[in-house]
Amino acid sequence: MLTFSFLTLFPELLAPFASEAILGKAAARGLIGVNLVNMRDFADNKHAKVDDTPYGGGAGMVIRVDVAERALASLPPADEVILFTPAGERFTQRTAEELSEREHLAFLCGRYEGFDARVETLVTRELSLGDFVMMGGEAAAACVLEAVARLRPGVLGDEASHRDDSFSSGLLDYPEYTRPPEWRRLAVPDVLKGGNHGAIARWRREQALARTLARRPDLLPGAGLTPQDSAALLALGATLEDLATWGAPPPPAPRRKRSRTPKPGPGL
Ligand SMILES: C[S@@+](CC[C@H](N)C(=O)[O-])C[C@H]1O[C@@H](n2cnc3c(N)ncnc32)[C@H](O)[C@@H]1O
């Protein structure tokens, strides 16, 4: 089981993520555990005050490091203690994959101006969701919970279903379609209705390559491209120099047509 412990001032914000939909079922089946810890319970004053004014002045309040320390000490040891902060390393699918192999993750969710900087001595990593500032770490923690938990065996019904996801395969996902077969004159591509699994797999790979080339070419160097991918990328307008920049292998050599040497006829 992978247990997620959230240290937060607003546990009620996170509760639905643990009790609803697929994660709720995974928790009920014992595949994941969710532990909501209210840091206010670890204040050492009768007003349950967890923050104070910043040394040096300035706006806003800062969460006390001793409160975070006591809240963490109330937990069984965690494999990783993660602080959410805009100054952290950018959270990616690779980080989600790494975290999904742990047994206990503790998440420190900030509020106000964040934690006293000395909290960094208590954590194993700092994560950011991106270059924007939210009001608290709870939404960031919920994103990481969703991304990590779905990689645990048994959480998604079909183990294969996350393998082709954007970023898992190294590429953006291919486009998906369902009924109706035609909507506002937009038809589902014929290849998907033909039942030829080889042709469908080739079409999907080409679509994933085309989308990634158009939208996120920065992903291509890490995408584990094959010679067939290189041929498809050239057909999509990439150049041989592009392939070299991405570290892509050369496309397969074009098959030479065997020239039949005419047998010498009689009399030659
Ligand atoms: C208002 S923010 C504090 C921002 C801080 N003063 C700064 O500029 O870096 C309050 C809390 O929200 C969370 N937070 C905000 N934006 C975030 C982001 N992009 N990634 C991760 N956590 C974030 C952090 O836990 C942070 O302590």
Tens of pLDDT, residues 55-107: 999 999 999 999 999 999 999 999 999 999 999 999 999 999 999 999 999 99
Please give the number of the atom of ligand 1 that sits closest to the Cα of 131.
19
Strand segments (E) across 119-248: 125-128, 182-183, 186-187
Q: Assign residue 84 the CATH number of its domain.
A: 3.40.1280.10
Query: Does residue 258 lie within any of the structural domains?
Result: no
User: How far apart are the C-alpha atoms of 167 and 170, rounded to whole Å?
Assistant: 5
Tens of pLDDT, residues 42-64: 999 889 999 999 999 999 999 99
User: How far apart are the C-alpha atoms of 213 and 174, rounded to whole Å?
Assistant: 12
Domain membership of residue 134 as a residue range: 2-149
Nearest protein CA to atom 1 of ligand 1, as residue: 135
pLDDT of residue 163: 76
Query: Does residue 167 lie within any of the structural domains?
Result: no
- Span between the terminal Cα atoms of the chain, in Å: 82
SS3 161: helix
User: How far apart are the C-alpha atoms of 30 and 1, rounded to whole Å?
Assistant: 7
Does 137 lie in the same domain as 9?
yes
The model's pTM: 0.91
Does 126 lie in the same domain as 188?
no
Tens of pLDDT, residues 206-228: 999 999 999 999 999 999 999 99
Query: Does residue 130 lie within any of the structural domains?
Result: yes
pLDDT at 178 over 60: yes
Query: Does residue 87 lie within any of the structural domains?
Result: yes
Does 118 lie in the same domain as 75?
yes
Among 149, 171, 192, which residue terminates a domain? 149
Q: How far, in Å, from the CA of 204 to the mean position of ligand 1?
A: 38
Pocket (CB within 6 angstroms of ligand 1): 84-87, 109-111, 113-114, 128-130, 132-137, 140
Does 119 lie in the same domain as 14?
yes
Binding-site residue ranges for S-adenosyl-L-methionine: 110, 129-134
Active site members: 86, 113, 150, 165
Q: What is the percent of the chain with per-residue pLDDT over 90, rounded to a whole number?
A: 88
Total domains, the chain? 2
Does 105 lie in the same domain as 10?
yes
Does 191 lie in the same domain as 88?
no
